[in-house]
Amino acid sequence: MTTSATTGPTASPVPDGDDQPIMLELVDEAGVTIGTAEKLSAHRAPGRLHRAFSVFLLDQRGRMLLQRRALGKYHSPGVWSNACCGHPYPGESPFAAAARRVGEELGARPP
């Protein structure tokens, strides 16, 4: 069964601008996609299980790049964290999504 928690006909998986919601893939405990939900609704209590990733970047000496999350973030503001995190858009592979976010956040591309 596929469920959807979209916000209406204007919801799109990839936002066209600041007014468009970002859609995430909802998953069951086995990681099987069961629907979509708007990002904020998936994160707000009680939360919904959704596909996400974390990127850890290490240099040749084994040092890890850290970043401090912006104080204005609704989720974990000011926390020191890995290089970047994010969510694949519905239908986007986690690797492609991670490469996209590293490019957006750091201006870098995978080797």
Same domain? For 46 and 60 the reply is: no
In a shared domain, residues 15 and 28: yes
Q: Are residues 10 and 57 in the same domain?
A: no
- Does 88 lie in the same domain as 64? yes
Residue 9 has φ and ψ, to the nearest 5°, of -65, -15
Render pLDDT for 1-34 as a digit per residue (tens, 0 to 9): 334 343 333 344 555 455 678 999 999 999 999 9
- pLDDT, one tens digit per residue, over 92-102 is 999 999 999 99
**Domain containing 33: what range?**
1-50
CATH number of the domain bearing residue 77: 3.90.79.10
Asked if 42 and 60 sit in the same domain, the reply is: no
The structural domain count of the chain equals 2
**Mind giving me the DSSP string for 30-94?**
TS-EEEEEEHHHHHSTT---B--EEE--B-TT-PBP-EEPPTT-SSSTT-EE-SEEE-PPTT--H
Looking at the structure, do residues 42 and 77 belong to the same domain, yes or no? no
